[in-house]
Chains A and B, each alone.
Chain A
Amino acid sequence: MALELYHSDHSTCSQKVRICLAEKGLDWESHVLHFQSGDHLTPEYLKLNPNGVVPTLLHDGEPLIESSVIVEYLDEMFPTPSLVPSDPMQRGRLRAWMRYMEEVPTPAVRVPSFNRVFRPLRYESATQDEFEARIARMPLRKAFYRRMGRLDGFSQDEMDNALSQIRQTCERIDAAIRDNFGPWIMGEQYTLIDVTLTPLIQRMADMGYGYLWQGDLPDMVDWFDRVRARPSFSTAFYANTNLSDKYGEYLKPEAGHDND
């Protein structure tokens, strides 16, 4: 069996899969894609992943796409240690959490990430024509880039809304730890929802948004300490995988908040 991962060092969806691979103790071959040069939009890559996003996992040559699907596939193929509850209703609830994670915090995290780092990094020095041409090549999420714009970035309303979505996510994590008696989101068992939320919260912490949960969500704070203490975290977050490692100059503290 051979596992190959097409991914990017700092993409949160790649990090979700890298954590899962580490939890399963699996070795894999790395193919790093660079967004700036458009590696994810080449005809060869689009054959593997028609959505033009990372990650893509190849298992014995068979391509698998969508990070939530990949982690569930890994759990089915490599069942030990199990990252999914054995009871069907509990699995249903895990999947409901996964759908929430995809709909709410995953897109929300993109807003400050692009506003503060990826837009200035990738598009500010491009021409408007180059920016439009890049959007035209993207199979998904064109509206996201159009709302952002090459120079303006997302509006304050969109930023506020994204931060309130992250706050809601943290409140739900906090409540779930209490309701299910911890230490993990589904209770005693560390599961795929802990895996997939970790990179999203880590990105927010790395960009200086820890104030969203540090003041008044103690169960969430402890959960975040626990997921970061797992060996899978250090494996998945190797050197230069945080935005602050690579693009620290873009992450000046925002007015009114300390960047810690």
Chain B
Amino acid sequence: MTTIELYQAPQSTCSQKVRITLAEKGFPEMKKDWIEHDVDLSKFQQLEPEYLKVNPNGVVPTFVHDGTVLIESSAILEYLDEVFPEPPLLPPDAAGRARARAWMRYIDEVPTTAVRVPTFANMLAPMRFSKTNDNDFAAHADRLPLRKQFYQRMSQKGFGKSELEYAEFQIRQTCERIDAAIADHGGPWIMGDRYTMVDAQVTPLIDRMEDLGYAFLWENDLPNATTWLKGVQARPSYAAAFYPGTRISERYPDFYRTAADLKAERGY
């Protein structure tokens, strides 16, 4: 009997990556197949000293297998694939694995960081920091082991126009690459006929953008990417990972603002 624990938050995209992968590996159900430790990000529980002892980066998720701790969602996905090899979520040959991992590094560097910009601009910055003064905001940024500069550039109001435009460019580029990969490899998945952890890793990011009203970035002229998103969302692993209340629009309905709402408010 194996024991899997996850310190996580329902709406965190990096937690969602791990939940999708757990479901693909036959551990779909929270509280039954794996133990949940809810980390309330709105109360900054991820920065409490107790949590920093297990995850010195002060982020979610943290994965625990039979009492042993592992951090970093991409590292967790690879670990799950190694210890629970069926069904495999990486190509069987070293060159194929290297291509999948190059995709994963691109996802870490480009869309993962880009998605944070509209997430904070549309919802989280006004929700968490609208009443925070400059000193308290600076003190909050100082508590973060990673990504201090992200907060400094954001300020309490959320990012400005040029940052939002660049984030849109990065998501657009990601979708163009998904679209081209499916055309090149024949689909239906990013690496070809085999669903891999690349699909699992990028799904929550594109799903978040869709939830925030940014589907205009791909749905008009990238049919392969559009069909791919419907395909990953139709998998049982998606339903398991995105249980009710996990999309950010459902998690914080009072603070939900779409791309169009934000642009109208700011007069872009």
**Contact surface of A with B, Cβ cutoff 8 Å:** 50-51, 59, 62, 64-66, 68-70, 72-73, 76-77, 88-89, 91-93, 95-96, 98-100, 102-104, 139-140, 142-143, 146, 157-158, 161, 168, 172
- B79 an interface residue at 8 Å Cβ cutoff? yes
Instruction: Report the separation of the CA atoms of residues A172 and B146 in the bound assembly, to the nearest whole angstrom.
Output: 13
A99 pairs with B108, CB closer than 8 A: yes
Residues of B within 8 Å of A64, CB to CB, are 95, 98-99, 102
- B72 an interface residue at 8 Å Cβ cutoff? yes
B166 pairs with A59, CB closer than 8 A: no
Smallest CB separation, A98 vs chain B (Å):
8
A69 pairs with B101, CB closer than 8 A: yes
Residues of B within 8 Å of A168, CB to CB, are 145
Q: Please judge, given known A-B contacts A68-B105, A95-B75, whether A157 and B152 are in contact too, CB under 8 Å.
A: yes
Q: Please judge, given known A-B contacts A66-B101, A69-B102, whether A161 and B149 are in contact too, CB under 8 Å.
A: yes
Task: Give the residue of B70, B95, B148 whose beta carbon is less than 8 angstroms from that of A73.
Answer: B95
Interface of A is mostly: helix
Instruction: Report the separation of the CA atoms of residues A98 and B82 in the bound assembly, to the nearest whole angstrom.
Output: 17
Instruction: Report the separation of the CA atoms of residues A99 and B72 in the bound assembly, to the nearest whole angstrom.
Output: 7
Q: Please judge, given known A-B contacts A102-B109, A157-B152, A161-B148, whether A66 and B102 are in contact too, CB under 8 Å.
A: yes
Residues of A within 8 Å of B163, CB to CB, are 143
- B157 an interface residue at 8 Å Cβ cutoff? no
CB<8 Å pairs between A and B, sample of 27: A50-B177, A62-B95, A64-B99, A66-B101, A68-B101, A68-B105, A73-B98, A77-B94, A88-B79, A88-B83, A89-B65, A89-B70, A89-B79, A91-B78, A92-B79, A93-B75, A95-B72, A95-B74, A96-B72, A98-B75, A99-B74, A99-B108, A139-B173, A143-B163, A143-B166, A146-B162, A172-B56
Contact with A along B201-232 (1 / 0, CB 8 A): 00000000000000000000000000000000
Query: Max chain B CB contacts within 10 Å: which of A62, A65, A76, A95?
Result: A95
Q: Please judge, given known A-B contacts A66-B101, A66-B105, A73-B98, whether A158 and B70 are in contact too, CB under 8 Å.
A: no
- B interface residues, tally (CB under 8 Å): 37
Q: Which residue of chain B has the shortest Cβ distance to A108 in the bound complex?
A: B149
Q: Which 8 residue pairs spanning A and B have beta carbons closest together?
A: A95-B75, A92-B79, A96-B72, A73-B98, A69-B101, A96-B75, A76-B94, A99-B72
Q: Which residue of chain A has the shortest Cβ distance to B80 in the bound complex?
A: A92
Q: Please judge, given known A-B contacts A92-B78, A99-B72, whether A72 and B95 are in contact too, CB under 8 Å.
A: no
Q: 10 new A-B pairs (CB below 8 Å) besides A64-B98, A77-B94?
A: A68-B105, A69-B98, A69-B102, A72-B101, A73-B94, A73-B101, A88-B79, A103-B108, A103-B146, A157-B152
B145 pairs with A92, CB closer than 8 A: no
- B68 an interface residue at 8 Å Cβ cutoff? yes
- B71 an interface residue at 8 Å Cβ cutoff? yes
